[in-house]
């Protein structure tokens, strides 16, 4: 593989390029945002107070890494425990249960790139309605239990590559209760994403076997554990990239005809490369790989809880550049859109909130700043009284920044709880 392309696919590139953008922000060189360093301390205090409110004084060790597991338990119903109890009664050991949760999490994460402000899933049997990430989690769990991802398999509660390859829009509409009165963003694109995932899983039998079952990733990773029974996050990352890079829409960025996933041209990086004479075919690209990173974070949890394994190299993962984490810094005034960009965004939306396409330069710049600021936030929290708790970045995402972004959205925009900057996408990116 070309070294430049390999670099853009790496987590090292996500972090290094994002911090380069933050440095340009500190120098006042950005195209679309102004960075207000004097507001950052307030953001640190806001997030610290949320973490202390929910986990202090002595429950910091219980903070899970940011991932999918907890979304399934919305409404004080431990649906994952119910699933595990059923599997235990059926004689499935912990390894098979881990495979089953990897199956479920794989599909559930990749279907969750934002649901829109209006969609709700009403859970059968309880009539409780859930939106956004939690609603998607519960909806996919019910589809999983009903065998919607397992056609042709011996059991229903499994995922196979064939079933995903043959997935239909009708299944998603039915499973997610999507109607004209309950609209869901990006249905066709998500269906194609799942179908592409099925094809990719089937194309990698050395990892996922002939069935293309995502859960076979468990055996692949465990076979590569070190002498201390630690799994390698770098192996997980490389494996997820190998299966997911081929599934993203063809409209995404390519270098020499090769897709590079969630990675986008960014004007300020091109400007800097021109100014410093360091232009190359990838010097203008800012990578993120957000959904892949969130899936990686999510898969760490069942493997740790069920198999008792630990991880090495997990620190290479970055903060997630999505609208809750990014919205935190906008709502608290750490980042503000420049006047011309604000005007353009308002013109795009026709409302009182600016809007941009998911791949627009404004959004790419915002996402890069979000990645770097999350690192900066994590470091600043270590300098507070929370420092002694030694929280990982993944724990800060779960207990602090993502939750803070959601709570600020609810306070500032109670009717929609939307991001302060609207993202116009097809449901395959965020």
Place of tokens 């690209």: 285
H helical segments located in 203-262 = 205-208, 217-222, 233-244
Report helix, strand or coil for 46.
Answer: helix
- The label of the residue with tokens 């300020």 reads 268
User: What percent of the chain clears pLDDT 70, i.e. is strictly above it?
Assistant: 99
pLDDT over 90 for what percent of the chain?
A: 89
Beta-strand pair 33-35/335-337: antiparallel
User: Confidence class of residue 115 from pLDDT cuts 50, 70 and 90?
Assistant: confident
> Chain centroid to CA 31: how far?
26
Tell me if 281 is assigned to some domain: yes
Per-residue pLDDT, 183: 94
- Residue 124 confidence class, pLDDT cut points 50, 70, 90: very high
Confidence class of residue 154 from pLDDT cuts 50, 70 and 90? confident
Give Rg (Cα) of the chain.
21
Residue 340 is predicted with a pLDDT of 98
The whole-number pLDDT of residue 429 equals: 65
The Cα 155–Cα 146 span in angstroms is: 10
For 350, the token pair is: 């026709």
The distance of Cα 266 from the centroid of its chain, to the nearest Å, equals: 21
> Phi-psi region for residue 114, left (φ > 0), alpha (ψ -120 to 50) or beta?
left
Q: Are 329 and 373 within 8 A, CB to CB?
A: yes
Task: Please name the residue that has the structure tokens 């900057």.
Answer: 421
Cis check for the bond before 327: say yes or no (omega within 30 of 0).
no
Segment 157-163 shows an average pLDDT of 97
Query: Considering the domain boundaries, does residue 430 fall inside one?
Result: no
- The average pLDDT across 153-172 equals 94
Provide the 3-class DSSP secondary structure of residue 351. coil
Query: What pLDDT score does 1 carry?
Result: 82
- Asked if 276 contacts 303 with a C-beta cutoff of 8 angstroms, the reply is no
Q: Is the pLDDT of residue 92 over 90?
A: yes
Average pLDDT rounded to a whole number, residues 388-404: 96
By the 8 A CB rule, do 112 and 220 touch?
no
Number of domains in the chain: 1
Residue pLDDT, tens place only, 37-55: 999 999 999 999 999 999 9
- Mean pLDDT rounded to a whole number for the chain: 95
Residue 134 lies in a domain: yes
Closest CA to 426 of 160, 102, 239, 186: 186
Domain span including residue 251? 3-424
Residue 409 burial by Cβ neighbours in a 10 Å radius (0-12, 13-18, 19+): buried
Q: Do the domain assignments include residue 291?
A: yes
Is the confidence at residue 261, as pLDDT, over 70?
yes
Kind plus residue range of the DSSP H or E element containing 47:
helix 40-55
Q: Which two tokens stand for residue 179?
A: 């109607």
Residue 152 falls inside a structural domain: yes
Side-chain-side CA neighbours of 220 within 13 Å: the count stands at: 21
- Where in 375-428 does DSSP place strands (E)? 422-424
pLDDT at position 148, please? 96
Predicted confidence (pLDDT) at residue 269 exceeds the cutoff of 60: yes
In a domain, 429, yes or no: no
**pLDDT tens-digit readout, 336-385:** 999 999 999 999 999 999 999 999 999 999 999 999 999 999 999 999 99
């Amino acid at each position: 593989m070309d070294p430049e392309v390999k670099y853009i696919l790496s987590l090292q590139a996500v972090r290094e390029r994002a911090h380069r953008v933050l440095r340009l922000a500190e120098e006042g060189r950005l195209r679309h945002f102004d960075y207000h360093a004097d507001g950052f301390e307030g953001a640190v205090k806001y997030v610290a107070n949320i973490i202390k409110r929910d986990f202090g004084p002595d429950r910091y060790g219980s903070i899970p890494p940011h991932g999918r597991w907890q979304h399934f338990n919305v409404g004080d119903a431990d649906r994952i425990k119910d699933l595990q109890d059923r599997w235990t009664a059926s004689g499935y050991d912990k390894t098979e249960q881990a495979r089953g949760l990897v199956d479920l999490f794989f599909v559930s994460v990749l279907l969750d790139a934002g649901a829109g402000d209006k969609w709700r899933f009403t859970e059968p049997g309880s009539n409780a309605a859930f939106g956004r990430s939690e609603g998607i989690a519960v909806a996919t769990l019910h589809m999983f239990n009903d065998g919607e991802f397992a056609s042709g398999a011996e059991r229903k509660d499994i995922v196979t590559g064939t079933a995903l390859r043959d997935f239909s829009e009708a299944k998603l509409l039915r499973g997610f209760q999507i109607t004209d009165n309950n609209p869901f963003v990006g249905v066709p694109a998500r269906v194609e994403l799942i179908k592409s995932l099925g094809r990719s899983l089937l194309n990698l039998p050395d990892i996922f076997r002939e069935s293309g079952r995502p859960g076979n990733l468990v055996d692949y990773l465990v076979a590569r554990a070190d002498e201390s029974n630690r799994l390698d996050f770098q192996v997980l990352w490389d494996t997820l990239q190998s299966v997911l890079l081929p599934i993203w829409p063809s409209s995404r960025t390519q270098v020499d005809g090769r897709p590079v996933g969630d990675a986008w041209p960014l004007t300020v990086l091109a400007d800097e490369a021109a100014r410093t004479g360091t232009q190359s075919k990838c010097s203008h690209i800012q990578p993120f790989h957000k959904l892949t990173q969130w899936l990686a974070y999510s898969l760490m949890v069942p493997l740790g809880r069920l198999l008792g394994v630990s991880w090495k190299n997990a620190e290479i993962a970055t903060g997630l550049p999505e609208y809750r984490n990014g919205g935190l810094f906008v709502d608290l005034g750490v980042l503000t859109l420049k006047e011309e960009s604000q005007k353009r965004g308002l013109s795009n939306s026709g409302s009182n909130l600016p809007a941009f396409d998911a791949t627009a330069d404004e959004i790419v710049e915002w996402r890069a700043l979000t990645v770097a600021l999350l690192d900066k936030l994590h470091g600043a929290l270590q300098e507070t009284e929370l420092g002694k708790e030694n929280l990982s970045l993944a724990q800060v995402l779960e207990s602090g920044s993502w939750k803070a972004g959601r709570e600020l959205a609810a306070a500032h925009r109670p009717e929609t709880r939307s991001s302060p900057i609207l993202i116009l996408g097809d449901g395959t990116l965020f």
